[in-house]
Amino acid sequence: MKVISGHPNSNKIILGRLTKNRLPLAKRSKAILITTEPRWTDIGYAGIITNTSRKAAHPLLPVQVSVESLKDIPEDDVVLVTNGDIHFLWEAKSRNNGLLLTEACNCRCLMCPQPPKPFNAKQIQTAMDVLALSPPDFDGEICLTGGEPTLCGDRLFELLKGCHERHPRASIIMLTNGKRFSEFSFAKQFAAQGVPVKIAVSLHADADTLHDKVVGTEGSFRNTQQGLYNLAKLGQNIEIRVVVSKLNYARLPQVAQHIYRNYPFAAHVTFMALEVTGYAQRNYETVWIDPFDYKDILEDALHTLHRSGMRVSAYNHPLCLLPQKAWPFARKSISEWKNNYIPACEDCSVRDRCCGVFTTSGDKLSRHIHPIVRSKE
């Protein structure tokens, strides 16, 4: 998520929706005021964000955070302020917003960008609070992510209903390893909520030994496969996601064939390049392979599924790292807050349709990123 650092006058944690309006006192408790001139009358707000270090004198004034500029702090975003760091949990002008339900997980994927932590019920409650504060009737995409969201149990169902009720025009997608859906009773309970949601299930190989090695937990392939079948039996909207790494890139065509033969009910399949952060950074030598080095293998896998009549995409792959015949499958897929372009991209003629690179990967990027310059005819 986007984070802006400032200087607080308190270490109190605050959550609220940003506003530039001085609201009636009764409507201030969940609002964070953006102002260049804090006043002693600004009591009742959850907090104040300002570009001045001057403090308005009043013992009942809320937490005040001073930042260098207010330019990148827009109205209606929902933020969490901790020790002066402003975390943007919902961006009103973005077409894609994510809700982090938990950092707990029942896998230990070698390339996980967000390493697992013990379950903390406060995280899904924060997600619920962010949803309640978000401007209503959002019509973009809401991504439910983790960790593993299915570990939240009934709170997940509560959140799903909340998303659909507050944002009925939004598209909801949930990222999952699919293992919990191997319990048919859970899968049936999930489907019974009646909320339209795309379930994006991670599958990294066509055999149990390799998949279980990638995700770090024995028996995962069997459970994920059964989860896919249970979801299909219940008529759910399924996407299959394959994160490409040094461990599985050579078998991408076989993975494509496996998906077509065993999961033809999947509405979408995508092959995703690595985000080099978290465990992927720790296990860099084990998991990293330059996308340029597997581009032809990836093209083969993409066309295998496309010829089979399945909808397929390549996520997180800059166009300069793909054969041109694979460009129709490339999607702008990197979350806005961690999406960037490097100096080599400045003169590229296809930059406007390219996904760019992960800012979170730092300097661990392909050595083959280059501008595509088309000659003028």
| Range 163-168 average pLDDT | 97
Q: What confidence score (pLDDT) does residue 336 get?
A: 82
* Residue 47 backbone dihedrals phi, psi, to 5 degrees: -170, 175
> pLDDT digits over 305-338, tens only?
999 999 999 999 999 999 999 999 999 988 887 8
Q: Where in the chain is the domain with CATH 3.20.20.70?
A: 94-331
Per cent of the chain over pLDDT 70 is: 99
Q: What confidence score (pLDDT) does residue 100 get?
A: 97
First vs last C-alpha separation in the chain: 43
Calculate the average pLDDT of the chain: 95
Second-level CATH architecture of 94-331: Alpha-Beta Barrel (3.20)
Provide the 3-class DSSP secondary structure of residue 34. Answer: strand
Q: Where in the chain is the domain with CATH 3.50.30.10?
A: 3-87
Is the pLDDT at 229 greater than 90? The verdict is yes
Asked if 110 contacts 92 with a C-beta cutoff of 8 angstroms, the reply is no
> pLDDT digits over 103-121, tens only?
999 999 999 999 999 999 9
CA distances in angstroms from 87 to 3, 5, 16, 204, listed in the order given: 5, 9, 11, 32
Give the Cα separation of 114 and 109 in Å (integer): 10
- CB contact set of 304 (below 8 Å; sequence gap of 6+): 253, 256, 257, 260
Write down the pTM of the prediction. Answer: 0.93
At what angle are helices 154-166 and 184-191 packed, to 10 degrees? 20
> pLDDT digits over 355-375, tens only?
999 999 999 999 999 999 875
- CB contact set of 125 (below 8 Å; sequence gap of 6+): none
Q: Match 């650092």 to its residue by tokens.
A: 5
Q: What confidence score (pLDDT) does residue 57 get?
A: 64
Confidence band, pLDDT 50/70/90 cuts, at residue 56: low
Q: What confidence score (pLDDT) does residue 335 get?
A: 84
Q: What confidence score (pLDDT) does residue 334 get?
A: 85
Instruction: Tell me if the bond preceding 235 is cis, omega within 30° of 0.
Output: no
Confidence band, pLDDT 50/70/90 cuts, at residue 1: confident
| Range 204-212 average pLDDT | 98
Is the pLDDT at 291 greater than 70? The verdict is yes
Q: What confidence score (pLDDT) does residue 377 get?
A: 44
Is the pLDDT at 214 greater than 60? The verdict is yes
Q: What confidence score (pLDDT) does residue 312 get?
A: 98
Q: Which listed CATH number (3.50.30.10, 3.20.20.150, 2.30.110.10, 3.40.50.2300) goes with 3-87?
A: 3.50.30.10
